[in-house]
Amino acid sequence: MAYQHKQLEPRWQKYWKDKNIFKTNDDLSKPKYYALDMFPYPSAAGLHVGHPLGYTATDITSRYYRMKGYNVLHPMGWDAFGLPAEQHAIDTGEHPAKLTYASLENFKKQLNSLGFSYDWSREIATCDPKFFHWTQWIFTKLFEKGLAYQAEVFVNWCPKLKTVLANEEVIDGLSERGGHPVFRVPMKQWMLKITSYAERLIEDLNTLDWPESTKEIQRNWIGKSIGAKVKFALENFNSECIEVFTTRPDTLFGATYMVLAPEHPLVNLITAVENQTCIAEYREFTSRKSDLDRTELNKEKTGVFTGSYAINPVSNERIPIWISDYVMMGYGTGAIMAVPAHDTRDHEFALKFNLKIIQVVSSGENNLDIQKEAYTEDGIIINSSFLNGLNIEAAKEKIIQFLSEKNQGEKSITYKLRDWVFSRQRYWGEPIPIMKDSQGNVIRAFQESELPLTLPEVQSYEPTGDGKSPLSAITSWVQRKTKDGSLEFVETDTMPGSAGSSWYFLRYVDPFNSSQVADIEKLKYWMPVDLYIGGQEHAVGHLLYSRFWTKVLYDIGACPVKEPFQKLVHQGMICKNGAKMSKSKGNGINPDDVIEQYGADSLRVYEMFMGPLTQTKEWDDSNLAGVHRFLSRVERFYVSDEGKSLLNNTQAMQQDLKILHKTIKKVTEDIESLSFNTAIAQMMIFLNSVAETQCKSKEILKVFLQILSPFAPHLTEELWYKCIVEEKVSPDSNKYEFISLSQWPKFDPKLVIDNEIKIGVQVNGKHRGEITLPLNADQETAVALAMENPNVKATLEGKILRKTIYVANRILNFVATD
């Protein structure tokens, strides 16, 4: 009979809540452990069973360290500003806060039904003025340090949604929400100067216990390149030049054309009259492409000739200037010198448009047709005047020296990383605390005493057609009179959703502090986060922005650590029928339905048992049912059908003690390495073993409940109460000790060492049986025991034993003939 999860799980959840047993105290004398989930955006759809995968992993870890005597911080909150709530407000006229908080309560209810040991007293929501007061304060500090500024930049503009979108919100040229066309257009935006921290963001990755793949993604995104800046004079333009950054200045003699990004400011100036129509059409075509589409290596190269020429600074050759969407304003200078002989992309472009190809690096062999393929390997410089005969590195040094002396270039380091576009033209976000004059010029940031700057009520949540936030229509909110009677105007753009998520982990440390982000002594104690679990899709955006804000706060003395997350783990996806679960695919599974049928403990244990935490796994209802049967078996082993304890105080047998201590050791090590599936497998082995010996020793089975409790907290609390607690003190009593707060057991090293070992016995290389030997037994003992094995004895009968091969603790092989 299955255990009664519908009765016992809500009961223990209520006890935990009423007794507030997971509330974290700031006892700075104890060792600490900070386990954190990437907090969710509370959508109306609620959770599907993929969400609890990472949440269960941090909860098991938190419960384990709590039982180990650590002061554990395991909080939860809400990434609550978002476009879905705003779109709902536009569609319905209902304030976005209403949907947000309704969704939030549903999420919270679902999380609590899974028995997670969160300290809900520290709950935060990024849309709460008490929280975004400090998001705005951080912005003012960025502004004061020159790290927040306004600039006209190309952004992803969605006319239908009437707002700027982040790159990750654009898929194949369409908005992630709604699938509307998105265009690249120039707009004045607030920017954060993350590029000032590029080098530190690369260097400090070396100090982190993160997946190497995620570190590499960040390194590539930041994209540090060492090379040279080179100036190309423009034919017929005396005062203008094109500056490029190149990592291969050694190939300068092979530069046969130039390419500008379509958005480059020089395009309008240098385009010949007869080329203007083609250029305009191409630029409009390019504006519909996302940055990702433009950098796709396999796409067909496109471009248009401007009609103008530049002068190669070393060869004095006249070279044509083109525009093409494979060159981006967001990298380098938005212009490249093209060396088609030694760059595959440039080579494809040169072949398509019949441009000159000059080889300037050679392998020393003459079997390459440079007109058919680019040479991209190492070699010796050729066709390059004073560089001829040099290797690549020596040629780089010499050409940089030459360019510096001629004032035509210099050694340079650049990054692919671009400054963070921080404006959104919508209502549901943190107002940017900046005052402007009537011309739109920035006057000042808000003073701390003026914060928080809260959102006003509006008649319409829809942004204006000219790209302004709906806040711009609220004159009474926008216009502020100064003491001298003049007018100041509040900035009407709001911050992106990534603002609050870039520092929320600090606020959990001190969520009610009204005078600072968080108390510095508490931050010194709790930070950095010891374990952070979330999806790999945040490898660049959220994780990079959080690292940037933490470093800024460190620099101004508001945070004692340079990095927020010491250990990072990406949980794998849970798939259904081979596809990622999603509402649109109709393959999502509501955890409420699973809990109703099988219980929260079954869902928790099943998700941890499916396979390694970081791997993608397939949902299987039959395996879920199997886990439920395992937990039911645990219950039946402890209590009778009437709910009476079956345990006794008999002394444990050595065999049972050994399997117990092996299990303690294995589960302890596996929790610490996040190998939850193998920990569960070991606990199943334990249950099978004590069932064989019919062990009912309370001494043994009490400890098993403790190591199972982080995985199945409800069932173990129930069995702890029924079978272990000596005096039937009510869980309502202050004297009651919950299993969740009991001490984690230690294993005895002597009891995890095997004194005996099973080895296989072969006859002529074929397996014929097994024998159990004392550890390191000699050959004489092994042979004697093997000869008692009926199958081995029968196989050797009538044969002549020619040779015995014995490897202690591994194998015994008899070589015999007829």
Residues in the chain: 818
Q: Which residues contact 483 (CB under 8 A, 6 or more apart)?
A: none
Same domain, 449 and 515: no
Domain contains 668: no
d(CA 620, CA 589): 11
Same domain, 386 and 425: no
Q: Could you tell me the CATH number of the domain that includes residue 394?
A: 3.90.740.10
d(CA 41, CA 54): 15
Using H for helix, E for strand and C for coil, what is the string for 596-661?
HHHCHHHHHHHHHHCCCCCCCEECCHHHHHHHHHHHHHHHHHHECCCCCECCECCCCCHHHHHHHH
In the chain, which residues have pLDDT < 70?
Answer: 1, 292, 297-298, 465, 583-584
Is residue 470 classed as helix, strand or coil in its secondary structure?
Answer: helix
Identify the DSSP state of 364. Answer: S
Measured from the Cβ of residue 405, the count of other Cβ atoms closer than 10 Å reads 9
Q: Which residues contact 721 (CB under 8 A, 6 or more apart)?
A: 731
**Rg (Cα) of the chain, in Å, rounded?**
34
Same domain, 295 and 274: yes
User: Do 437 and 489 contact (CB within 8 A), yes or no?
Assistant: yes
Q: How many Cα atoms sit within 13 Å of 761 on the Cβ side?
A: 25
Position 329 scores a pLDDT of: 84
User: Do 124 and 513 contact (CB within 8 A), yes or no?
Assistant: no
User: Do 91 and 161 contact (CB within 8 A), yes or no?
Assistant: no
Tell whether residue 793 is among the known ligand binding residues. Answer: no
Query: What are the φ/ψ torsions at residue 298 (nearest 5 degrees)?
Result: -85, -5
Q: Could you tell me the CATH number of the domain that includes residue 783?
A: 3.10.20.590
Residue with tokens 């960025």: 142
Torsion, CA 91, CA 96, CA 99, CA 100, rounded to 10:
140
- Its domain, for residue 165, covers 140-219+420-490
Of 493, 610, 452, which Cα lies nearest the Cα of 150?
Answer: 493
Distances (CA, A) of 189 to 87, 193, 422, 517: 22, 12, 7, 26
Pinpoint the alpha helices (H) of 299-391.
344-353
Amino acid at 364: G
Beta pairing, strands 32-37 & 811-817: unpaired
Same domain, 390 and 480: no
Same domain, 54 and 200: no
Position 1 scores a pLDDT of: 59
How many domains, in total, are found in the chain?
4
pLDDT digits (tens, 9 = 90+) for 778-817: 999 999 999 999 999 999 998 999 999 999 999 999 999 9
User: Do 302 and 325 contact (CB within 8 A), yes or no?
Assistant: yes
* Structure-block tokens of residue 725: 């607690």
DSSP-assigned states of every residue in 371-431:
TTS---S--EE-S-GGGTT-BHHHHHHHHHHHHHHTTSEEEEEEES--PEE--B-SSSSPB
Same domain, 368 and 405: yes
Amino acid at 661: H
Same domain, 431 and 409: no
Same domain, 369 and 269: yes
* Structure-block tokens of residue 242: 């094109």
Same domain, 213 and 229: no
Of 541, 627, 666, which Cα lies nearest the Cα of 56?
Answer: 627
